Structure 1
Amino acid sequence: MTTTALHDLYQELAPCTGLDLHALLPGGIQREAGHFNVFDIADLWEPTLAPPATPYTCRSFYKISILRSHSRAGYADQTMDIAPDALVFTTPKVPFHWQPTEPQLGQFCLFTAEFLLPVLGGTTPDELPLFRADGYPVFQLTPAEATRTAAIFAQMRAELASDYAYKYDLLRAYVLELLHLGQKRQPATVLHPAHSAAARLSSRFVELLERQFPVTTPQQRVPLRTAKEFANHLAVHVNHLNKVLKDSTGRTTTDLIGGRLAQEAQVLLRQTDWTLWEIADSLGFVDVAHFSHFFRRYAAVPPGTFRQQEAGPV
């Protein structure tokens, strides 16, 4: 847990659950890319029912909830009444304010974008229809769907409390199942936009970028690192590639490449004992100094400091 917003959330939850801050953190999460946790709303609703409505807030995490009681919510500029057995998807990009109106039943999980990186094939949660800023986040479930969804959350809680070595891989699979359930409720026009030439080029870029990872040995080298190299490989002008990606993602080609390299660097720093030189070399940097300068732009600390922090006590 590294972001201020996540820390603030746990400070709010600790008095509700009667647990201290450390006890709320899932076991082994420091060794994972990103953050994940799951809660039962019944453990929290009483302290949150009494206070008056608070201003909209944006968090640093994504959240999926099954709400099994009546409540109200504000999402962007919309106000909505939520009936029981609703599946709700919220994103840090859009302010969301939830107000219980009766004793609450249900569960929710929260996660960061980095947590889902290994299973999204190079895309980010923001690129999913469920988390689009212009989307509608609430989906009413049938009784059968509600039963299945509640079972998924129960499995999440049980798995999170287990000592299974690969429990976070399994938890990612459960999150994906919830995402697919929500996407089934999306209109076809949202899920399958017209495949224009620009959309195809953007998809090819993402596939080409992701194909370079993961880096599994110090001898492996990332072959493509610059916008021009990607443009040449895709047989387009670099300016055209930049425009297409900027229009579709809001980010430049260089920023997308750099972000993915930084994510891989964090994984290698957490999960391997490779030297900084070996990591820098495998990611295509001429020396550790250049790698360190690059890494600080994304993580705010040098790679050596990042590794020490991640190796802290569980």
Structure 2
Amino acid sequence: MKIFENINDFYIRKQADFSFQNKGTSPKYGHFNVFERKNGTGNSGYSRRDFYKVSLIIGEVKLFYADKWVLIDRPALLFSNPLIPYAWETVSERQEGFYCLFTEEFIQPSERNDSLADSPLFRIGDNKIFFLDDKKVEEISVIYRKMIEEINTEYIHKYDILRNYLHLIIHEAMKMQVPDKNTFQNSASERISGLFLELLERQFPIDIPEHTLKMRSANDFARQLSVHVNHLNRTIKEVTGKTTSEHISERITKEAHALLNHTDMTVAEIAFGLGFEHPSYFNNFFKKNSGVSPGSIRSNNK
């Protein structure tokens, strides 16, 4: 099972020649490219990517996350980032729209600190799918068409223009987000909470057997964040309403579900990869947190 897709893997999967791939590469700006979605069927395996992707989807598509799947049955904007693994499957033969993808190097440091820091591109746990009406579909399609036109020019500053077009799309999605009364707060507690959640998410998916889960306790994360474990626990509870251990247990359980549903690894292999010394410990943990045994999940998938 390949659980990590890099930018080269993407082009191989899409069967795009290297010259087309290289067109979107700049030593200064990293990689950015934009495509039109064409009719056809297909799917991608469950994996995390090392690039960002913003898609205008027209046509039915199923998205599979670690613990759920979502049917996109009407036009939608989809945001994908390197932290969240997923798989997708086309349902209808009609597939239209656009998408752009870009690497971490394309993102300016300031974008993580200004208004875009609260965008669906960066925030963990926020809604990544925005359904659109016909008017909004046309408005965003126009932006993508301008992207395609611009990337084919020889203008020396075209990547700055492309970044601005990307910002327009992101801001259109942010307009559709439900306002949060805490959006403009930037307290130390929120920063620590955000760092903890990002650190937790970056551990997944697990590349078994090459890599296994290393941080499984509040103490592990406190050491990594250079804060006292009691302070971390109070902060996480204050900001999220859940304890540090609850977040860790929930995320491990989600990953276990994904591995049971999307791989042919044995329960013992999954237990080892998630840091359990014995399969029985994993069985007890999984049943406590999900209400069913790992074996029953496997039986339902046969």
Return the TM-score normalized by structure 1: 0.55
Q: Is the 8 A contact 2:118 2:183 kept in 1?
A: no
Which shows bigger deviation, 99-108 or 71-80? 71-80
Q: Distance in 2 between matches of 1:104 and 1:22?
A: 25
Q: Distance in 1 between matches of 2:89 and 2:152?
A: 29
2:165 alignment partner in structure 1: 174
Deviation at 1:131, TM superposition (A): 3.5
Matching residue within 41, 64, 73 for 2:37: 41
Q: Distance in 2 between matches of 1:191 and 1:147?
A: 32
User: Which residues of structure 1 form unaligned runs of 5+?
Assistant: 203-238, 249-314
- 1:100 to 2:101 alignment: no
Q: Distance in 2 between matches of 1:5 and 1:181?
A: 28
Deviation at 1:166, TM superposition (A): 0.5
**Alignment partner of 1:178: what SS?**
helix
Q: Distance in 2 between matches of 1:73 and 1:12?
A: 18
2:22 alignment partner in structure 1: 25
Q: Distance in 2 between matches of 1:75 and 1:185?
A: 22
Deviation at 1:80, TM superposition (A): 0.8
CA deviations over 1:226-255 (Å, ceiling 9, x no partner): xxxxxxxxxxxxx9x9649x979xxxxxxx
Residue identity matched to 1:37: N
**Alignment partner of 1:188: what SS?**
coil
Matching residue within 58, 63, 76 for 2:66: 76
Specify which structure has the higher proportion of helix.
1
Count matched residues: 198
Specify which structure has the higher proportion of strand.
2
2:217 alignment partner in structure 1: none
**Alignment partner of 1:162: what SS?**
coil
1:13 alignment partner in structure 2: 14
**Alignment partner of 2:64: what SS?**
strand
Evaluate the alpha carbon distance shift between residue 108 and residue 242 of structure 1 in structure 2; reply closer, same or farther with a 3 A threshold: same
CA deviations over 1:50-96 (Å, ceiling 9, x no partner): 5xx55411000111000111111113322111023201101111112
CA deviations over 1:183-218 (Å, ceiling 9, x no partner): 11222128716444545999xxxxxxxxxxxxxxxx
Deviation at 1:112, TM superposition (A): 1.5
Q: Is the 8 A contact 2:120 2:128 kept in 1?
A: no
Deviation at 1:24, TM superposition (A): 3.1
Extract structure 1 runs of 4+ deviating beyond 6 A. Answer: 123-127
CA deviations over 1:285-312 (Å, ceiling 9, x no partner): xxxxxxxxxxxxxxxxxxxxxxxxxxxx
Deviation at 1:41, TM superposition (A): 1.1
Return the TM-score normalized by structure 2: 0.57
User: Which residues of structure 2 form unaligned runs of 5+?
Assistant: 194-222, 236-302
